[in-house]
Copies of this chain bind each other. A is one copy, B any other.
Amino acid sequence: MSQDKLGPFLQKNWIGSTDSYKDAKIVMVGLPFDGTCSYRPGSRFAPERLRLASWGLEDYSPVYDRHLDDVRFYDAGELEFPLGNTQKTLDVIEKNAKVIFNDNKKFLGIGGEHLVTLPAVKAAAEKFENLAIIHFDAHTDLREDYLGEKLSHASVMRRIGEIVGFENIKQIGIRSGLKEEFELMKRYNTVANNLSDLDAIKNKKIFLTIDVDVLDPSVLPGTGTPEPDGLLYRELAQWIKSLKDFDIIGADIVELAPDYDKSEVSTATVSKIVRDVLMIL
């Protein structure tokens, strides 16, 4: 047998991924779930497309002057979910996040829709005291429920606030929601317009959650609920870079719906955001 004479082959994992779970500092897990999406579904396809698109990136980031190879992350693949059963899906995520946190690694979720953040935060809250959330999004996601459903991507921050306390949530880029949601934001002072607005959580353990619709739809048409007047890529990248000194124990990037952008620029853009987040974890 001469298998070793074959090749050279292109790789099937994320660019820069290490082959060893054991040696990895960060574990990337695909979360292909979009079951509570209120408008346009399709974020289930984001993790596999981002993997393909990652090979359009360079391994080297001039902004961080660093290679992905040096980051030591492990691409574990996509989880398999029981379609149509929201609760069981969340349970699978929570179980996996717990394993990763217990192995003293950082969790990096690749959504899927925003509800996938809930079980990851639950697992983090079990492991870490003093947990706070940095939340990029166009939408408040603070509804009590959506048509009676408490487990919805439109309610995910409400559920998370019930776990970590709303005063421990900082929100960036919000521009759509109900009147009562904006009032809740005001009450708990969740809005962060600049870095100093994050001072209150500076010394906490941070879970970073980026709903990519925080970006302007011109930059990211491929998402379920595009909302005009968003951040440019540059603005989001600068925010991410400024978080370098926070103690981020986990993160996720959610709500890319690749099929709604046939130019695939949305996927390329989010793959670069994933690279940026890897650089600061």
- Which A positions have Cβ atoms within 8 angstroms of B? 1-3, 5-13, 21-22, 29-30, 32, 34-42, 44-45, 48, 52, 56, 58, 60, 62, 65, 67, 76-86, 88, 92, 95-96, 99-100, 102-103, 115, 146-149, 151-152, 175-179, 182, 216-219, 221-222, 225-229, 233-234, 237, 259-265, 268-269, 272
Contact = CB atoms under 8 A, between A and B. Distances in A.
Nearest to A175: B62
Contacts of A83: 35-38, 146-147, 149, 152
Q: How many copies does the complex hold?
A: 6
A interface SS class: loop
B228 A272 contact: yes
A213 to B, nearest CB: 11
25 contacts: A2-B99, A6-B100, A10-B32, A35-B35, A35-B83, A37-B83, A40-B42, A40-B259, A52-B52, A58-B176, A60-B177, A62-B175, A62-B176, A62-B182, A65-B179, A84-B86, A84-B152, A85-B86, A216-B218, A217-B269, A218-B265, A227-B268, A227-B272, A228-B268, A229-B233
A157 to B, nearest CB: 16
Nearest to A38: B83
Nearest to A52: B48
A218 B88 CA distance: 37
B269 A228 contact: yes
A125 B203 CA distance: 60
Nearest to A88: B148
Nearest to A218: B218
A80 B9 contact: yes
Contacts of A228: 219, 233, 237, 268-269, 272
Contact of A1 (B21, B39, B45, B177): B21
